A and B are shown apart, each in its own frame.
Chain A
Amino acid sequence: MTPHLLAATLPDGLTFAIAGVIALVGSLGVVLSRNPVHSALMLIMSLFGVAVLFVEQDAQFLAAVQVIVYAGAIVVLFLFVIMLLGVDRSEAIATEPMPAQRLMAVGLGILALVEIALLSRERWPLGAHSVAGKARGTGHSNVYVLGRSLFTTYLLPFEVTSALLVIAVIGAIVLARRPRTSAGPTEGEAAAAEAGGGPLVDAGELVGSGAPSAERRVEAEEALARAGDRIGEPVGEQEGLTVVRRPEQ
């Protein structure tokens, strides 16, 4: 017999249906929203839907983590970055510079879905039961069971995640640091760079601080030329140019 949604009790079935629809709509929303901010909000919606499904399947702790960590921290980080980069404007997603790409993407997506569904036609879970320990029926809460498992069977992975967090910290420091534009800057230069304001001022700082030399000027011009690739608002451009002209005065 094929399993049927109606076979479930009404509250369970209803919860699944509503949360599932929320998760699906959220997922589609992420892909289809023109504005990245909307995408992020849709992602939260989807995550909430999934969190409900977690609760529905006796994973209460993870549902909480999902909401707190994912929706609360990760997506907020996304939103911060969107605001920081100032890319919160709508994107013309109706136009596609590579039409074949979109067509093939959707085609491949459908194919992949069909294949995964086909491959798991029979009852999905097949494996041995409770290999790592029972999740239910132990007489303990979900948090207890998870915590116990983490500190015994999964002790090593748990400890190893610390390395991951160290990496995240270093990565964030390295990447967020303002690039130094010349080899071996003096302390003063570095400090000036650290204190610098808008992005395009970099090019000027090279010239402005320290002794103006021909080599530095060339580098500054190169930096400006590079900056020219990504000219933003005209104000920024003007700012950059005025700073560069300084040593010539």
Chain B
Amino acid sequence: MLHAAFLIPLFPLVGFAVLVVGGRRLGNPLAGWLATAMVGLSFVTTVVVFAGLFERAPGRRSFTQTWWNWFSVDRLHVSAGVLVDPLSMTMALFVTGVSTLIHLYSIGYMEHDEQFPKFFLYLNLFVSSMLLLVLGGNFVMTFLGWEGVGVCSYFLIAFWFDRPSAASAGKKAMIFNRIGDAGFLLAMFLIYERTGSLQYQTVFARLGHVGGDSLVAIALLLFLGATGKSAQLPLYPWLADAMEGPTPVSALIHAATMVTAGVYLMCRISPILHLAPDAGHVIAIIGGATAFVGATIACAQTDIKKILAYSTISQLGYMFMAAGVGAYVAAIFLMLTHAFYKALLFLGAGSVIHAMNDEQNTKVMGGLRALMPITGGTFLVAWLAIGGVPPFAGFWSKGDVLLNAWGYSPALYVLGALTAVLTAYYLGRCYMLVFSGKARWVEARATGDGTSRGHAEPALEADTSNPNVPHERIAAPAGPASHGRLHPHDPGWVMTVPLVVLAFCSVFGGLINLPFHPSFVFLERWLNPVVGRALFNPHLGAGSEIIFAVIDAVLALFGVALAYSLWRTAVYRREVEPTFLERAWFIDWSYDRLLARNSTRMAAFTSAVVESRVIDGAVNGFAVLWRRSGTVLRRVQTGYVRNYALGIMAGLVVLLAWVASRTFS
């Protein structure tokens, strides 16, 4: 049964190929069904392989399948193939599962989009790359998947590329990811240099001969890669902008699967992290800080997808905190449960946006619970789950992380606990604004005040005049006269079925790894062959575990109550939505202010040579710094042939001077 592993990434790839060739001929909705079927087949295969692995004895649950010898450089032999072990199968199972549901949902969501087949083509390619990433048997395969998902992510963020904001968001994602990728590549070189291999098992077996400093360097470089992909401090701003993509994309790529690749990588290299505790320190601190910062920002956002985006950043921070501590099982556990409820939240948000005719501002929603019972109900479940209210899934997974954090450092625990309260609070705020209270969209439309006050990113405001926003033609045409005809309702079954399934998982997902008794920790026992040796043990008795569970529950309920009391009736509460948070700690702003503005001043100063276009696209400091040196350097290129010859002569003189210095020293 294990030999079917190669089929897992192959099915979506076949789907991709078929859609490339005949996507337009298949048309809408056949192309979508084909793509869904392919991912579904992949899911079934995964279950089969999973079962095969499960039958084996725990010590023998590792299987390497080599497809072909990919390339050989000197001592380095890289084969194309997969590694089937409990960790990769767990990931594959949830990736294919969630993907199938989101594919199904997308058939409904993208129904009226002109680029329908293209969307599914990208989605299938994405799933295939993601599976390559998690199943890859060596660093190179993982890196290929890593780049593949990055490219798909870019294409899907910029899917409605005729919107300038979408195109620029895609660009931003690409740039931030490239920084991280450089880290990944360097880490690979270093690993190869030190161990002579890139095959996971070989590398891990040879770690004993590698110096401690090298291990820290490898771990931190890989973590740099992970911060880019998983939107951690300081490389997180792209994820908020990535919400420009269609909502199913946000759910699949920017919440459930791709962004968790960094966490997966950390778990995969757990043997390295185990030997490099200093690197673990850094990871835990950055993870904790990201969790807290992300949660605070989410408290003051008004765009429904932005709230969820910052929530994702925060939850990913949580996972990194767990991985840094050494609690890999907790990290994976949180990743799984998070995938369920965050995908659910996004899909719910998608249904709301769909129903509200592409409105994303929560301040002009409200009162939708009665009109959209299924969406409202599942969203409520997701809120309680992510908030950590017992007995939903999030309670167990978050509790596990917090428990380990306490054992590692109480300060980290405090950070995590604060984040937990904030999480329950801001999603409560979101839920209240969207589903309860008055139906504000009626009056907002009547006054023509569609987008309310000071929005940080005007690009994200609902742009109903843009004909490329999908679903435009299904609803009534926009305009003050038409709001009366807006009838929000639950979407069709293809969209509600995934909601219900995910809600079910959000409720019962915690069952896979219950604390209190060793016989309940299924996930931990399952993952033990992979991460067992490196696992952190907080040394707490069952008694204190119960105490912590109670504290967690109290914290979660406190957050829920806070949200309920503050937002049940009100819409505007400036005092808890400080501009500081609304503008995301001014981090984007300061990137712009400190780096881009200075260069603008300099551009004015050297206006003869520098054009205003030079700072075009200078969205982040990295690019600006390079650019600035470019504008200075290009003045050397005067266009005078004599100057060029002078350059050659100068090079010659310096070269001879060096040679002379060597001869006479």
Q: Which residues of chain A have a CB within 8 Å of any CB of chain B?
A: 98, 101, 104-105, 108-109, 111-112, 115-116, 118-119
Contact = CB atoms under 8 A, between A and B. Distances in A.
Contacts of A98: 640, 642-643
Interface in B615-665: 640, 642-643, 646, 649-650, 652-653, 656-657, 659-660, 663-664
Interface of chain B, helix or strand or loop or mixed? helix
Contacts of B643: 98, 101
Given A105-B649, A119-B663, A112 B656 contact: yes
Given A98-B642, A98-B643, A101-B643, A115 B649 contact: no
Nearest to B657: A115
A101 B649 CA distance: 12
A185 to B, nearest CB: 32
A108 B660 contact: no
B660 A112 contact: no
Contacts of A112: 649, 652-653, 656
B642 A115 contact: no
A104 B660 contact: no
B656 A115 contact: yes
23 contacts: A98-B640, A98-B642, A101-B642, A104-B646, A105-B642, A108-B646, A108-B649, A108-B650, A109-B649, A111-B653, A111-B657, A112-B649, A112-B653, A115-B656, A115-B657, A115-B659, A115-B660, A116-B656, A118-B660, A118-B664, A119-B656, A119-B659, A119-B660
A65 B61 CA distance: 84
A115 B653 contact: yes
A118 B662 CA distance: 12
Contact of A108 (B642, B653, B663): B653
Which 8 A-B pairs have CB atoms at the shortest separation, nearest pair first? A115-B656, A108-B649, A111-B653, A108-B653, A112-B653, A115-B660, A118-B660, A119-B660
Contacts of A104: 646, 650
A98 B640 CA distance: 10
Contacts of A119: 656, 659-660, 663
A37 B663 CA distance: 43
A166 to B, nearest CB: 28
A4 B643 CA distance: 40
Contacts of A108: 646, 649-650, 653
Contacts of B642: 98, 101, 105
A22 B660 CA distance: 31
Given A104-B650, A118-B660, 10 more contacts: A98-B642, A101-B646, A105-B642, A105-B649, A108-B650, A111-B657, A112-B652, A115-B657, A115-B659, A116-B656
B557 to A, nearest CB: 75
Interface hub of A98, A108, A116, A119 (most chain B Cβ within 10 A) = A108
Contacts of A105: 642, 646, 649
Nearest to B658: A115
Contacts of B659: 115, 119
Contacts of B650: 104, 108
A116 B652 CA distance: 11
Contacts of B657: 111, 115
A115 B651 CA distance: 13
B648 to A, nearest CB: 10
Contacts of A118: 660, 664
A116 B664 CA distance: 13
A174 B649 CA distance: 32
A100 to B, nearest CB: 9
A229 to B, nearest CB: 15
A105 B641 CA distance: 13
B368 to A, nearest CB: 62
Contacts of B663: 119
A104 B652 CA distance: 13
A109 to B, nearest CB: 8
B665 to A, nearest CB: 13
A108 to B, nearest CB: 5
A119 B649 CA distance: 17
A96 B642 CA distance: 12
B661 to A, nearest CB: 10
B504 to A, nearest CB: 69
Nearest to A118: B660
Contacts of B660: 115, 118-119
Contacts of B652: 112
Contacts of A111: 653, 657
